Amino acid sequence: MAYKTLEVTKDGGVCTIKLNRPKALNALCNELTMELAEALAKLETDDAIGCVILTGSDKAFAAGADIKELQDKTFLGQYDHDVFGLYWEAVARFRKPIIAAVAGYALGGGCEIAMMCDFIIAGDNAKFGQPEINLGVMPGAGGTQRLTRAVGKSKAMDMCLTGRMMGAEEAERSGLVSRVVPVDELMETAMSAAKKIAHQSLPIAMMTKETINTSFETTLAQGIHFERRLFQAMFATNDQKEGMSAFTEKRTPHFTNK
Ligand code: DAK
């Protein structure tokens, strides 16, 4: 299906979703937001896809929510039609592995969406920020919560209160991104990571993701309990048998997602 604000391509178990509103630096308008949620919903049940890459252009991953659409909104307009709450959360709710490949600006909602992905690979020109305070508001799609969990209170306060941007090197040092690569190697690096993931057992990768995400919602003891149960449950899969047989037989495993 063709989208107006996204380019969606598939290659070897990986789907790449490229945000595509270059003139507005990929500002997240309602149309883009709804198309993104629709694309992810389709991928959720696409058996050929084991990993998704969410990316933008070399200049901007996304410069935030579309301020031109937001400026005249009222409280009830936001509350009754909570487009962002409803549809951006589709990224956080997505059950398969999803990588954000970020070059250029990831600001406001752009930074929030990148943080909803499982991990972020950044080009060396990436700039992360929650500059909403400059607009007379604050982050509204998880920025105050996810950024704080990623980089700690001091840096989250600094970024949300001053609105300053964080470069790629600082973002890696602070734990916001998993790796930084030259921007012209960004997609190649993200694709290589995504293909590696897509060739694993999908249910095992999904349970791994679910378990790591659980660590943000539980006590340590509950999280470890959850991990142990899922680890034990993995022994009910063919893929556990295949993975361990392949190791002992010194061959590459062939996972069937069963
Ligand atoms: N919205 C709309 N248009 C944008 C935009 C944005 N966020 N960012 C850039 N653009 C447009 C510019 O207006 C300009 O369009 P024209 O004037 O050419 O028509 C074009 O993109 C190029 O931008 P610039 O000329 O400004 O380019 P520069 O290289 O000079 O500057 C910049 C790049 C990224 C530093 C600058 O564009 C900038 O500061 N952009 C705004 C960044 C920002 O403040 N982002 C936060 C947006 S607020 C919610 C939850 C969450 C949210 C909302 C609701 N609910 C639960 C209800 C989230 C809010 C946000 O994200």
**192 contact partners, CB below 8 Å, separation of at least 6:** none
pLDDT in tens, the chain (258 residues): 799 999 999 999 999 999 999 999 999 999 999 999 999 999 999 999 999 999 999 999 999 999 999 999 999 988 888 888 889 899 999 999 999 999 999 999 999 999 999 999 999 999 999 999 999 999 999 999 999 999 999 999 999 999 999 999 999 999 999 999 999 999 999 999 999 999 999 999 999 999 999 999 999 999 999 999 999 999 999 999 999 999 999 999 999 999
248 burial (CB, 10 Å; 0-12 / 13-18 / 19+) is exposed
Q: Is 114 in the pocket of ligand 1 (CB under 6 A)?
A: no
Kind and range of the H or E element at 105?
A: strand 105-107
Q: Tell me the whole-structure pTM to 2 decimals.
A: 0.97
Kind and range of the H or E element at 227?
A: helix 220-233
Task: Choose one of 67, 73, 83, 84 to mutate for the ligand 1 pocket test, by most ligand atoms within 8 angstroms of C-beta.
Answer: 67
Residue nearest to atom 4 of ligand 1 (CA): 24
Distance CA 184, CA 53 (A): 16
